[in-house]
Structure 1
Amino acid sequence: MGQLTPEETMQALMTTRMPFGKYKDSLICNLPEAYLVWFHQNGFPKGKLGMLLATMYEIRLNGLEYLLAPLRNKFKGH
């Protein structure tokens, strides 16, 4: 599996749904901060999902949600 470009990563945050757990079917970009913190403390899954969760955690941790704002309308309904 190759690395995603920053653009592909941002798109994936807006279109990838959580495949399991309490927030199954929620978009990664919409997961609650507490859920992301739990993964940070207990370990992110391996692979692309883990990378996306870790990226979303860092976005929230650093107050960078505004970076997702322009994409919300573009990917609305995915």
Structure 2
Amino acid sequence: MANLKHPKVTEILKTGYANLNAQPEYFGTDYFGNEVLKGDSVVIDPSNGEMVLEVNLEDYLIEVKGFQFKTAD
């Protein structure tokens, strides 16, 4: 058997079940006020240090930076 080191796999092998009550660790809030949890993918704006969840990057670029997304003709 392979030497698996993922914490959830280790816990299951040790106890026989996963700890489904484990809460993700809070990291902060992004530009839009969304909760960021440890392990979430974020983007940092180097011009001002703002943190944005990666899933909200397009909104940030449009609303804050004025980017326009278009389809090439």
Q: TM-score range by the shorter chain?
A: under 0.3
Q: Which has the higher contact order (CA 8 A, sep 6+)?
A: 1
TM-score (norm 2): 0.24
Radius of gyration: which is bigger?
A: 2
**Structure with more of its chain in helix, by fraction:** 1
**Structure with more of its chain in strand, by fraction:** 2
TM-score (norm 1): 0.23
